[in-house]
């Protein structure tokens, strides 16, 4: 989102934020600068929030391509949760009844590539449930509450075929929150580490919708001031992670190795053969 002064720019940020409650501004940090960023702010495994992130999609990533992200997080020493996210979304098409839930939100995700609205709905998950789903002894649908499943059906206007989904991951993540005197918003840094050792680091801030214009321009200016280079390879963390794990799943399926990532332990070959079918059925 470009920012400029004058009559043409008047109300631009407000129009872009229409229907959203908040804005999250994100920027990926080039791999060559990750170690420097960790050292600058004293971010270590001793002061992080360690988590493991599992994604649920078809082997062909049909949900991701349809703008639906389904994931679960095991947070060491804290509450585990599951999340359903739609991106992009038209806020006007999302029912007001979901706003009564504490962990439902509609916000604008802003980056150097632009701005997109999302709607996400998280709910706590019982300890041990995520591991059992990953092991194939519980179904993927068991991770979502009745309310989350209703949210999917209403927002997507169709029913998800959970039997076609597989577990992708887990991906290890470290998360920190800290402050910098030069930035008026609390900064979140999240480092994702794939199984192949590749890393992606994202720095972000959240601000109320009314602060969108100043927050977006201010945070990008702050990053430039502290020397954070523009990441020419920037992509969303989710696509970066899912592309890798889907590829690994496909390779495992071709080799005929047993897979634990299908609901109730169904074989990887069966899941892969069904990957070309439509991921949803009309609701």
Q: Residue 266 — very low, low, confident or very high, per pLDDT cuts 50/70/90? A: very low
pLDDT of 1 higher than 70: no
Q: Please, what is the average pLDDT of the chain?
A: 87
pLDDT for 28 equals: 92
Residue partners of 242: CB distance under 8 A and separation at least 6: 55, 57, 61, 64, 168
Distance CA 194, CA 196 (A): 5
| Model pLDDT, residue 278 | 37
Q: Name the pTM for this structure.
A: 0.84
Token pair 């071709």 is found at 254
**Which single residue is written with the structure tokens 């299908």?**
262
Confidence at residue 9, expressed as pLDDT on a 0 to 100 scale: 65
**Please, which pLDDT band fits residue 10 given cuts at 50, 70 and 90?**
confident
Give the HSE-up count for residue 148: Cα atoms under 13 Å, Cβ half-sphere: 27
CB distance 229 to 218 below 8 Å: no
Please report which confidence band the pLDDT of residue 261 belongs to, taking 50, 70 and 90 as the band edges: very low
On the question of pLDDT at 279 being above 90, the answer is no
Q: How far is CA 74 from CA 54, 132, 171, in A?
A: 8, 12, 10
Q: What percent of the chain has pLDDT over 70?
A: 86
- In the chain, at which residue ranges do the beta strands (DSSP E only) sit? 22-29, 49-57, 68-75, 80-86, 104-111, 114-125, 158-160, 166-180, 183-193, 199-208, 280-282
Per-residue pLDDT for 263 more than 90? no
**Lookup: tokens for 75:** 């947070």
Highest mean pLDDT out of 163-167, 260-264, 266-270: 163-167
Highest mean pLDDT among 170-174, 227-231, 252-256 belongs to 170-174
pLDDT tens profile 130-159: 999 999 999 999 999 999 999 999 999 878
* pLDDT value of position 210: 93
């Amino acid at each position: 989102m470009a920012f400029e002064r004058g009559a043409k720019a008047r109300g631009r940020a407000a129009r872009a934020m229409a229907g959203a409650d908040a804005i999250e501004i994100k920027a990926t940090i080039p791999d060559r600068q990750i170690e420097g960023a960790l050292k600058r702010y004293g971010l270590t495994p001793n002061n992080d929030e360690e988590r493991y992130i599992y994604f649920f999609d078809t082997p062909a990533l049909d949900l991701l391509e349809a703008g639906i992200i389904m994931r679960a997080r095991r947070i060491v020493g804290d509450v585990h949760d599951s999340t359903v996210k739609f991106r992009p979304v038209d806020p006007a098409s999302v029912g007001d009844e979901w706003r009564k839930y504490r962990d439902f939100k509609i916000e604008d995700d802003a980056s150097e590539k632009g701005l997109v609205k999302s709607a996400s709905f998280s709910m706590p998950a019982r300890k041990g449930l995520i591991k059992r789903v990953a092991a194939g002894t519980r179904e993927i649908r068991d991770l979502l509450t009745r309310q989350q499943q209703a949210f999917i059906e209403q927002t997507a206007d169709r029913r998800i075929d959970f039997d076609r989904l597989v577990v992708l991951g887990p991906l290890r993540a470290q998360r920190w929150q800290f402050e910098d005197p030069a930035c008026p918003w609390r900064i979140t840094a999240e480092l994702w580490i794939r199984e192949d050792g590749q890393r992606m680091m994202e720095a972000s801030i959240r601000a109320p919708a009314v602060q969108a214009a100043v927050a977006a321009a201010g945070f990008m200016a702050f990053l430039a001031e502290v020397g954070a280079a523009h990441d020419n390879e920037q992509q969303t963390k989710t696509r970066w992670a899912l592309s890798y794990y889907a590829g690994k799943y496909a390779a495992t399926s071709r080799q005929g190795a047993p897979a634990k990532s299908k609901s109730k332990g169904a074989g990887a070959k069966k899941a892969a053969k069904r990957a070309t079918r439509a991921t949803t059925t009309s609701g």
